[in-house]
Structure 1
Amino acid sequence: MWWLIAAVGLGIPLVVTAMPEFGMFAVGAVASAVTAALGGGTVIQFLVFAVVSVALVAVVRPLANRHRTQSPGLASGVDALKGKTATVLERVDEGGGRIKLGGEVWSARAFDGEQVYEPGQKVDVVEIEGATAVVI
């Protein structure tokens, strides 16, 4: 019974502080409660609590940190336009021009100042600067 009270007690800071480690310790307390219900002695209960809690922290925490630091796999907005192919509508050079990108007409300029793209040519979008696509 004391282990279940401890599990609830550890669950409260988990909810209040959003620190997942408290949840892992609460799971260790539940595992110890199950051990006690099966007739395990006090030493075994504390060992189960320690082993389960440490194992969860050692395994789950690195996975959660890796997941938290990963960038999203789905690009949206102007980030989704980078790498897309467009069609030149008006001559594009370092001074500007127009392209058709994703069904819309965009202002564009050449990434390389010496490069010139003529109407009908296919270009790739390198980046978006404001409302202008930089192409190669």
Structure 2
Amino acid sequence: MDWFRDNMWATWLIIATAFGVLELLSMDLILIMLAGGALVGMVVALVTGSVAVQILAALAAALALLVFLRPGMVHRLHAGPTLAVGAEALIGKRAFVLEALTHTAPGRVKIGGDVWTAQPFDEDDQIAEGTSVEVVTIKGATAYVVRSRTEGV
């Protein structure tokens, strides 16, 4: 026991390592925060010999990590990428008008490699064949499009 008191920095390092290894089993990001607190206790042990100060610093650091760092990390780990599939994935894509589009007479556009029935998103717009457009929304099997902002550039 004298060795632990004489080498408090090593004791804190052993505690931090134990918490780190146990974290690998739990994967809750709680024990790794406690390991961070133990590392702070180790640093304080290198500076001062007061065990009370070391314990307070370790507890304060662990609590701060649990309260401020862990929630953001858990959120990032559990939030996956947003995946757009099907017609949803076509919104915002550039298309090429194959047949002229009006609100009363739908035409055809080529989006990627697929040909879709399309209408102008704006009711008053008429889009000529060969125009570059962007998909705004898709309802059923009809794509609603607007002229590309980069048209003519």
Is the TM-score greater than 0.5? yes
- Structure 1: distance between partners of 2:90 and 2:145: 11
Structure 2: tracts of 5 or more residues without a match:
1-9, 147-153
Contact 2:33 2:70 in 1 (8 A): no
**Would the alpha carbon gap of residues 55 and 45 (structure 1) be closer, same or farther in structure 2, given more than 3 Å must change?**
same
**Would the alpha carbon gap of residues 46 and 15 (structure 1) be closer, same or farther in structure 2, given more than 3 Å must change?**
same
- Structure 1: distance between partners of 2:85 and 2:144: 18
Letter of the 2:133 counterpart: V
Given candidates 130, 133, 145, the residue that maps to 1:123 is 133
Given candidates 104, 111, 115, the residue that maps to 1:106 is 115
Given candidates 62, 65, 77, the residue that maps to 1:56 is 65
- Structure 1: distance between partners of 2:55 and 2:22: 21
SS in 2 for 1:19: coil
Letter of the 1:47 counterpart: L
Letter of the 2:70 counterpart: R
Instruction: Kindly provide the CA deviation profile for residues 45-73 of structure 1, in whole angstroms up to 9, marking residues without a partner as x.
Output: 11011111112222212432454576758
- Structure 2: distance between partners of 1:78 and 1:68: 28
Based on CA coordinates, which of the two structures has the bigger radius of gyration? 2
Contact 1:108 1:135 in 2 (8 A): no
Alignment RMSD, CA only?
Answer: 3.7
- Structure 2: distance between partners of 1:132 and 1:68: 37
**Would the alpha carbon gap of residues 95 and 7 (structure 1) be closer, same or farther in structure 2, given more than 3 Å must change?**
farther
Structure 1: tracts of 5 or more residues without a match:
none
The Cα of 1:122 is off from its aligned counterpart by: 4.0
Instruction: Kindly provide the CA deviation profile for residues 1-41 of structure 1, in whole angstroms up to 9, marking residues without a partner as x.
Output: 33222212211231112122211110111221232233331
**By percentage of residues, which structure has more strand?**
1
Aligned-pair identity in percent equals 34
Number of aligned residue pairs: 135
Given candidates 9, 23, 36, the residue that maps to 2:45 is 36
Q: Which residue of 2 aligns with 1:135?
A: 145
**TM-score under structure 1 normalisation?**
0.68
**TM-score under structure 2 normalisation?**
0.62
